[in-house]
Amino acid sequence: MPSQILSMPNRPFDSLLSAIPTSSSSSAAMLLKEKDEASASLLHSTIEEDNTKMRPLLSRSSSLTGNNSMPMGAPRFYQKRRRRTASEDSLPSFCNDTARTSASSFGNEVRQVASETFLLTRLGLKMLSYLGVGYKWISKFLALGCYALLLFPGFIQVGYYYFFSSHIRRSIVYGDKPRNRLDLYLPKNNNGPKPVVAFVTGGAWIIGYKAWGSLLGQQLSDRDIIVACLDYRNFPQGTISDMVTDASQGISFVCNNIAEYGGDPNRIYVMGQSAGAHIAACTIVEQAIKEAGEGESTSWSLSQIKAYFGLSGGYNLFNLIDHFHSRGLYRSVFLSIMEGEESLQRFSPEVMIQDPNIGNAASLLPPIVLFHGTGDYSIPSDASKSFAETLKRLGVTAESILYEGKTHTDVFLQDPMRGGKDDMFEDLVAYIHSGDADARARDATAPPRRRLVPECMLKMAHNISPF
């Protein structure tokens, strides 16, 4: 942990940009956390008292990645655990004894939930020790608790779907780090290859988690679109370069393997929300720079990406650092996440794409569509407008679509839970199905989505939301 974090003032951390589902309540967090022993071990390593940079963890893989390598000198107990995890991911023949397997699975799940809850609590307390606790901090947490309580009926239904739907493949391994996993949301029918969205979730670069995309994954899969929700390392487990590396590896996995799950490798879209939109934008700009360079070898290509969708993202860190500081994401913490002030340009896609030293990188970018609510006070909508205008000046096909009065959470959480027609969702689906007349016809006759939370509770949540 960088030393400047320890010298932060005792002021409130006003909001974590898009950490809505994780903040719902301890029970919602427990419901959404999967059985991921490597993730729990990773969280434990981040809260060691020496505050030094964490040691690399032993890599894990499964049969889904086709990588059966084992670290040199790995102890026997680790090999046994790894073989067990890999066999679980590859659907072994344990189901010959259903009763015994179910009982064992339930016991393991209870122990895992208890372990992860304890470790997450310790991590949260560690972060609180850095940030300090004042009356505003406490008031925001009270508001967050009320907000989560109001949306809890929706969280319960989404969580049930996430755990028990047969159309979700959870924790597919895409890389050699413990957080290199993704969830696949598959349509109910398999009549031909489906378009695919590789989705990077938000979470203020601190608490992102793949399950946060569960609601979007459910809704898009209902429209015959496969969704791959990518997990990635969070701060302080990693910094921004680690997050971009993880996102790139996840996109590479989707590009090279999605056909095995019924996806169309010629119709892959990348999408990010909030901090995830920033990470995903950094990823595609970095990929464009690599491809524009001489002799750069990459495992995927931007030519495979049909479009990039950014939802409520920020793309110029120089314009946002003071805003985040005023909102409670203090400058010292933010600079630690972004690897220092000298790295702000590198991780500001809007600034980086204008660098004359990157050659024709801008011409390699896919079409870019940026969604944002004008009532967003976590990341102002001007962030999307400015990025779209910059891209258009460079000849990139880009546009920003603004939703009047919508906040940071409205477009991603409250509106989808409202059921019926959701403007942002319909715009997103229209772009994905723009070249498929049959899909557009099915969209026109699709039944309205059901309501998950009563309207009065959604309106109260809108007014009380601390985001």
Contact call for residues 15 and 150 (beta carbons, < 8 A):
no
Kindly state the tokens that stand for 33.
Answer: 């956390």
Residues annotated catalytic, as ranges: 274, 376, 408
CA–CA–CA angle 327, 330, 332 (5° rounding) = 165
Residue 313, CA distances (Å) to 13, 348, 400, 402 in order: 19, 11, 11, 12
* CA dihedral for 340, 346, 348, 354, sign (positive or negative): positive
| Amino acid at the residue 335 | L
Helix or strand or coil: residue 12? coil
Taking only the tens place, the pLDDT of each residue in 293-343 is: 866 778 999 999 999 999 999 999 999 999 998 887 889 989 999 999 999
Looking at the DSSP bridge assignments, the partners of residue 263 are 194
Give the number of C-alpha atoms closer than 13 A to the C-alpha of residue 156, restricted to the C-beta side. Answer: 7
The residue written with tokens 């992860």 in the block is 116
pLDDT given at position 281: 98
pLDDT given at position 53: 40
Q: Read off the pTM.
A: 0.74
Strand-pair category, 398-403 with 305-311: unpaired
Q: What is the Cα–Cα distance from 356 to 347, expressed in whole angstroms?
A: 16
The residue written with tokens 């910059």 in the block is 390
How many angstroms separate the first and last alpha carbons of the chain? 26
CB atoms under 10 Å from CB of 386, counted, come to 18
Taking only the tens place, the pLDDT of each residue in 92-106 is: 444 445 445 555 655
pLDDT given at position 414: 94
Residue 287, CA distances (Å) to 222, 291, 338, 357 in order: 31, 6, 19, 15
Give the number of C-alpha atoms closer than 13 A to the C-alpha of residue 465, restricted to the C-beta side. Answer: 26
Contact call for residues 202 and 167 (beta carbons, < 8 A):
no
- Per run of 10 residues, the mean pLDDT along the chain (length 467 residues) is 41 40 40 41 42 40 40 42 41 46 59 59 55 58 86 95 94 93 94 95 92 95 97 93 97 97 96 97 96 82 96 97 88 94 96 92 96 95 97 97 95 94 95 93 92 94 84
Contact call for residues 369 and 401 (beta carbons, < 8 A):
yes
Kindly state the tokens that stand for 27.
Answer: 């029970």
Within 47-134, residue ranges assigned H as helices are 76-89, 98-131
